[in-house]
Amino acid sequence: MAGVDFVDVRKSFGQFPVIKGVNIEIEDGEFVILVGPSGCGKSTLLRMLAGLENITAGEIRIGDRVVNRLPPKDRDIAMVFQNYALYPHMTVADNMAFSLMLANKPRADIDKRVGVAAEILGLAKLLDRYPRQLSGGQRQRVAMGRAIVRDPQVFLFDEPLSNLDAKLRVAMRAEIKELHQRLKTTTVYVTHDQIEAMTMADKIVVMHDGIVEQIGAPLELYDHPANLFVAGFIGSPAMNMIRGRLHPKDPTAFMTADGTALPVARPTAAARGRDLVYGLRPEYMSLDPNGLPAEVVVIEPTGYETQMIARLGGNDVTCVFRERVNAKPGETIRLGIDGAHVHLFDAETGRRLF
């Protein structure tokens, strides 16, 4: 096993820079997820680590080796792709054994490794089947089996669950996480799905437009997003963002455009006199008879919680209540806001002030 380091890594396609100086330290055994919107450069970064794309500038290290110029086969990594890339004319066993056969490993060793991987992945009974005779989840497991048998220093996953239906995605998410807990192989995983990132990663790297916006543990990013981009990207439903300023005389009051005062528990000097964005996660509002009046716009019960869009201080805000709510669109309710969980962002730079 080994850690992975990206040191000021850059990549341009022609004149067009797509990776603009990325630094990421991944520790030995860590499960790191690169997440960000389509086109932010996460697949390119993964492909550079795999050796499938050359590096314009900077350095990539696996363990203590600089791998910039090493061909993929010499990097001691195994990659699982979105489309699984299974050979249709080979059985499950042969698909899993293929890379070992290419490497001229002894037959007995190959059989042993395939047997162990099949056991771990619950594929033991399917070894003689062909890919077309498998379900999507089983194919995904074979693709992982192919990676496991190689016992690499690093696993790379490129959106491995995106071809599966929602229910299977949730199940495979847990399987991959369990697999990592068992093998503890350093893993770099790319997805655009922030829920996948939140639920699986030891550490999340949030990317946007070729740069790293923030790196941290899932709940660290959730509770302390560095800027508006991360705040809006991590969390579902998304954080509510309301523009305004602090009251000039009362820094515990955030004034919206229509003059509504929203609570701020921890005012900060840096926020005074600036255009701000008030960031409020949907779960930090409650139904409170002493709260602010808001008009119900949409109400969506899911059974165990109720989501609502309400009009508050001239803004539509999303609320999530862990209770059933008896209200109809058009009615006025009262919303309490937990000011201790409010964030203030500088509207101009996007940076979180607290």
Q: Which residues bind ligand ATP (CB under 6 A)?
A: 13, 18, 36, 38-44, 192
- In whole angstroms, the minimum distance from the beta carbon of 37 to ligand ATP comes to 7
Q: Which is nearer to ligand ATP, 34 or 310 (CB)?
A: 34
- In whole angstroms, the minimum distance from the beta carbon of 158 to ligand ATP comes to 8
- In whole angstroms, the minimum distance from the beta carbon of 81 to ligand ATP comes to 12
Q: Give the containing element (helix H, strand E) for 334.
A: strand 332-337
CB 142 within 8 A of CB 122: no
Q: Which residues contact 115 (CB under 8 A, 6 or more apart)?
A: 124
- In whole angstroms, the minimum distance from the beta carbon of 179 to ligand ATP comes to 23
Burial label, 27 (beta-carbon count in 10 A; 0-12, 13-18, 19+): middle
- In whole angstroms, the minimum distance from the beta carbon of 51 to ligand ATP comes to 15
Q: Which is nearer to ligand ATP, 18 or 116 (CB)?
A: 18
Q: Which is nearer to ligand ATP, 80 or 310 (CB)?
A: 80
Q: Which is nearer to ligand ATP, 18 or 226 (CB)?
A: 18
The full DSSP string for 213-260 is EEEE-HHHHHHS-SBHHHHHHSSSSPPEEEEEEE-SS-TTEEEETT--
Q: Which is nearer to ligand ATP, 13 or 87 (CB)?
A: 13
- In whole angstroms, the minimum distance from the beta carbon of 25 to ligand ATP comes to 20
Q: Which is nearer to ligand ATP, 38 or 104 (CB)?
A: 38
Buried b (16+ CB within 10 A) or exposed e, 192-226: bbbebbbebbebbbbbbebebbbbbebeebbeebb
Buried b (16+ CB within 10 A) or exposed e, 159-178: bbbeebeeeebeebbebbee
